[in-house]
Amino acid sequence: MNRSVEIVKKILIISGFRIFPSNTGGHVHTSGIARSLARMGYKVTVYSLAGRSEDYGIASVFGQRHRVDPIETNLVEETNLGLLYGLAQSAGRRLDQPRVWQYHLMRRALVPGRLRKALADADIVMSDLPWCPRIPGPWSSKPWFLISHNLEHSLLAQGNAFHRRYASWMKDVESAAPSEYSDIFPCAEADRDFFHANDQSGALRLPIIRCGVDPKSYEVPAGTRERIRNELGVAAEDILLVFSGSKFAPNLEALEVLREFGKTHSNTLAQLRVKILILGSMVAAPFQDGALIATGRVSEVAPYFSAADAGLNPITRGSGANVKLFEYLATRLPVISTSFGVRGTDLVPGVDFIQYEGDGLLTAIDHFVSQKDPRQWREFSESVWLRHQNSCDIEQLVRDAVARRPEFSASGR
């Protein structure tokens, strides 16, 4: 592509919530796509329909109805701070309700005026998840794409009783998506197969954008590892395994298993000098319980990854792929994972990661401790990244995906 022409193309990504800075897997995936498109030369605006809780305190003081954050060259995030979406989102989170309200507001074009202006200015529109449907209006004829992080109906079906009520409805929404959008960017083969089966026209190409990450986002200043380990009370000779995730049902279930594991094997873990870091909003507040250390929500995850010696992925259910796995690879951490945890990748057990199932975690940890020294594990992790970089680096994944759609070319519509 000719860069001078590319910059003229304006892409609008509509998100339900503010994604920068990224501190959940969903944030990482969307922000990675946005950064990649901007670095390819497109003018990218992320319009987020609601902010984070801290945004509204500031907004109420200064009377702000929106915030605009320049992220990097060609990339801006604008966040709506109006009370309608803000209060609805806050209530939904407190009650643990799906964003059905958001879907229906958008389908009725009940959106902020600044979003309408952004829609009018855009050449290409991208909806982040099916909770952000196409918005009726004069922009409806523009190329409009869906970014699918996973099959939402599958997640709802695995949720609590209230979530399960909406699983069938969301399945209908996702089944209709192939006729609603110019194309869909799924993140895994199983998701692509679902949309393909529901593509009555056969016109979609369904280019996969896996849950890769931007390796540049995980670079940290010298001394960060030592500083974070000191803050956590982790000695230089301790082995720190990190399990990263948000307050998401499969993560919470895996956390409970880890808590029981820590209690059952506390003496052995102490002898091995192994500690497990629970990173992110899986817990409401920091705690330490034997070998387990929890941070609660953090503003940045990269410093904590730099403090770890291996990435742990104990997930056994869910949909799509785990962003945490790609974060581990990008930060050159050896991976200890269930087979389900590496779904959507080409990682080979015994070659690229240590696999365990069920009650085999202690054996996997013992293997990690005894088989290689830290230098050898660093060399191992670098070789894994180099083998799989093309399927883990989000910028390469986005380039390959949009190359399959003429709308993203200099002349294509």
Q: Which domains does the chain have, with CATH numbers?
A: 3-213+394-408 (3.40.50.2000), 216-391 (3.40.50.2000)
Rounded to whole angstroms, how far apart are CA atoms 111 and 267?
A: 56
Query: In this model, does residue 139 exceed pLDDT 50?
Result: yes
Query: In this model, does residue 59 exceed pLDDT 90?
Result: no
Tokens describing residue 381: 């992790």
pTM of the model: 0.83
Question: From residue 155, how far is each of 87, 115, 159, 164, 165 by CA, in Å?
Answer: 24, 29, 6, 9, 12
Establish whether the linkage from the previous residue to 286 is cis, with ω within 30° of 0. no
Highest mean pLDDT among 8-12, 195-199, 215-219, 338-342: 195-199
pLDDT for the residue 108: 96
pLDDT, average across residues 309-317 = 95
pLDDT, average across residues 148-152 = 92
Model confidence band, residue 64 (pLDDT cutoffs 50, 70, 90):
confident
pLDDT 10s digits, 392-404: 899 999 999 999 9
Rounded to whole angstroms, how far apart are CA atoms 105 and 234?
A: 48
Q: How many CA atoms lie within 13 A of 297 on its CB side?
A: 13
Residue 24 — left, alpha, or beta (φ > 0 → left; ψ -120 to 50 → alpha)? beta
Place of tokens 């994972």: 337
Question: From residue 74, how far is each of 16, 35, 70 by CA, in Å?
Answer: 21, 9, 8
The answer to whether the beta carbons of residues 37 and 7 sit under 8 Å apart is no
Tokens describing residue 205: 């190409």
Contacts of 122 (CB under 8 A, 6+ apart): 10, 11, 12, 45, 139, 142
Residue 92 has a CB neighbour count (10 Å cut-off) of 17
Query: In this model, does residue 3 exceed pLDDT 50?
Result: no
The answer to whether the beta carbons of residues 125 and 141 sit under 8 Å apart is no
Question: The dihedral of CA 392, 394, 397, 399: what is its sign?
Answer: negative
pLDDT 10s digits, 111-133: 999 999 999 999 999 999 999 99
Query: In this model, does residue 6 exceed pLDDT 60?
Result: no
Give the helix ranges, DSSP H, for 319-393. 323-330, 361-371, 374-388
pLDDT 10s digits, 229-245: 999 999 999 999 999 98
Query: In this model, does residue 411 exceed pLDDT 80?
Result: no
The answer to whether the beta carbons of residues 354 and 377 sit under 8 Å apart is no
Contacts of 98 (CB under 8 A, 6+ apart): 92, 131, 156, 162, 163, 166, 170
Mean pLDDT score of the chain: 92
The DSSP code for 314 is -
Query: In this model, does residue 7 exceed pLDDT 80?
Result: no
Residue 242: φ, ψ to 5°:
-110, 135
pLDDT for the residue 125: 98
